Amino acid sequence: MSKPDATAPPAENAVSPAAAGAADAAHHRHIRSFVVRAGRMTQAQERAWRELWPRLGLDRSDQLFDFGALFGREAPVVFEVGFGNGEALVALAAAHPERNFVGLEVHPPGVGHLLLQCEAARLANVRIVCDDAVEVLQRRVADATLDELLLYFPDPWPKKRHHKRRIVQPAFVALVARKLKPGGVLRMATDWQPYAEHMLATAAQCAGLVNAAADGQYVERPASRPLTRFERRGQRLGHGVWDLAFIRR
């Protein structure tokens, strides 16, 4: 597959027609958990895409990731799916220089924002993917290679007719379980109670995972989890927050 222009966000039209066709076909094999918003990029974010993406971004490809080669060292690998503007990821990566972090997000301005934060904090342990995390997990991540997968405040898709768009589905949870190392952890948080209940029921049914909560319910908010933009928004709206942790058997 030809590489997208490394200086431009990998929008569907930033890859060759053949590659875009293949990517599109792959995308349409499952219902997407997101809608690509037209969101405007600031000048600083455009610069980040031009200057920082070539160093920190992982271009589209069908090759499996070789995390040791990507980071230049062997270290535990943590994925954050749907990092938004990347605030939590930057805080985690700064607090854990001994871990390698890969952030996945489909919204190019959010990626630009994270690139800028990585530059400002001089982080060497973050790499970024701008693509559908479901596709990336399926095609680019070898089984039993992740130490943690973080899914913080995924879009709740509250309307019943949209529930099929929720990223947390039995097939997604089984996919994540396969990609985690034994003892690896899937951590989720949401401020939408019906989604929390759906996450709990879905993960509990996955044979490869066991709930870290002794009572089979939710876990305490981990002190290590930074506050995210969506969590702050939820707090302003008076929402509760539910944290979940499931361990790969």
Catalytic site residues?
A: 155
User: Which positions touch ligand SAM (CB under 6 A)?
Assistant: 33-34, 81-84, 104-107, 110, 132-134, 152-155, 167, 228-231
What minimum distance in Å lies between the beta carbon of 231 and ligand SAM?
6
109 three-state secondary structure? helix
> Which residue, 73 or 221, is less far from ligand SAM as judged by CB?
221
- Main-chain dihedrals φ then ψ at residue 87, nearest 5 degrees: -55, -50
Q: Which residue has the tokens 């066709």?
A: 21
Spatial CB neighbours of 158, under 8 Å, sequence gap ≥ 6: 192, 194, 195
Spatial CB neighbours of 23, under 8 Å, sequence gap ≥ 6: 12, 15, 60, 135
Neighbouring-strand partners of residue 81: 104
What minimum distance in Å lies between the beta carbon of 189 and ligand SAM?
8
What minimum distance in Å lies between the beta carbon of 32 and ligand SAM?
6
> Which residue, 129 or 200, is less far from ligand SAM as judged by CB?
129
> Which residue, 117 or 228, is less far from ligand SAM as judged by CB?
228
Tell me the residue number closest to ligand SAM, measured at CB.
82
Distance CA 196, CA 218 (A): 9
